[in-house]
Amino acid sequence: MKRYQPSLGRRMRRVRTGAALLLGVMASFVGVTARAQNEADMYRAARAQFKARHYVKAIMILKKIVAADPRNHNAVTLLAHSLRRTGHCDQAMPYYHKILRIFPRRSDLWNNLGVCAFRLRHYDQAVTAFKKVLASEPKKRDVLRSLYLVYRFQKKYKEALAVVDRAAKFFPKDVDWVAARGEILSRLKRHREAIEVLRKAVGMAPRNADLHYRLGLVLRRAKLYKDAVVQYRKVVSLRPGFAPAYSELGTLLAYMGAKKEAAAMYRKYLGFIASSRPKEAAWVRKRIQELTK
């Protein structure tokens, strides 16, 4: 039996077809490689713009990359960061959600998502995000502070106190956490405890005008007006430009009958607000007139 032998022409056609297929595959590979190289070059350019803080330029480049390849995780992440840096948290959040579905253990991304949610006043989302971070990094100071602030804005003072107590275990010598505890105790109307805690904070940092002012506020809420005046005087001695302390002194001294000194404090306060807060300035001028009749 004769073995089948294709004709020379048929063999040549097969060769040409195979060569064409091979060239097609090679061209496709070259095209994919070129596109990948182009994306890599664009991403490097975007990173350079981001590092130079030219966030708008970075966003323009990154949006092109993500439009062409939505699965480019590095580009999606950097785009989210760039949008956040420009204040466009509403646009950044969907990208953070997208990348966190792929990398759910990235605590840095959860933190950034929480910051965006906080800025947009999506407090419940912020709480969830910050708790995700603290689940893996319980001693992360800035995240503990962020969670505390969210609860404060929500007026969830019991939850805020729990965060403060948790932070105090990790940072017992941190005066800011001591002061925060005093402030929250005051919000819970536990003024005596708050005063004790804030006096401790002042003892830790006696030249910190902010701490003296916060102690003064709590003393005023507790109706310990003379003690509050002492703290406000300390504030203005440490920081003469601390405007709110002059207002507090004016109010308390007037209440205590020291009208002349109260008017003097209001005049100093007026010097800080005369041009920037005209309505309040008008009220202060009227109050000075009443005190100097």
pLDDT band at 11 (very low <50, low <70, confident <90, very high): low
Paired tokens of 23: 């060239």
From the list 270, 254, 273, the residue with the least C-alpha distance to 262 is 254
- Residue 22 is assigned to a structural domain of this protein: no
In a shared domain, residues 128 and 84:
no
Domain end marker among 193, 209, 239: 239
83-113 residue pLDDT tens: 999 999 999 999 999 999 999 999 999 999 9
In a shared domain, residues 129 and 179:
no
In a shared domain, residues 195 and 223:
yes
In a shared domain, residues 256 and 216:
no
pLDDT band at 34 (very low <50, low <70, confident <90, very high): very low
The mean pLDDT value of the chain amounts to 90
- Residue 17 is assigned to a structural domain of this protein: no
Quick one: pLDDT at residue 26? 47
In a shared domain, residues 130 and 163:
yes
In a shared domain, residues 157 and 136:
yes
Average confidence (pLDDT) over 51-80: 94
Quick one: pLDDT at residue 39? 82
- Answer yes or no: is pLDDT of 31 > 70: no
State which residues form the domain around 180: 174-239
172-231 residue pLDDT tens: 999 999 999 999 999 999 999 999 999 999 999 999 999 999 999 999 999 999 999 999
In a shared domain, residues 73 and 99:
yes
In a shared domain, residues 232 and 179:
yes
CATH value at residue 74: 1.25.40.10
- Residue 12 is assigned to a structural domain of this protein: no
248-257 residue pLDDT tens: 999 999 999 9
Number of domains observed in the structure of the chain: 4
In a shared domain, residues 130 and 144:
yes
pTM: 0.78
In a shared domain, residues 245 and 286:
yes
In a shared domain, residues 162 and 182:
no
- Answer yes or no: is pLDDT of 20 > 80: no
One DSSP character per residue, 219-233 reads HHHTT-HHHHHHHHH
In a shared domain, residues 164 and 221:
no
Average confidence (pLDDT) over 114-140: 97
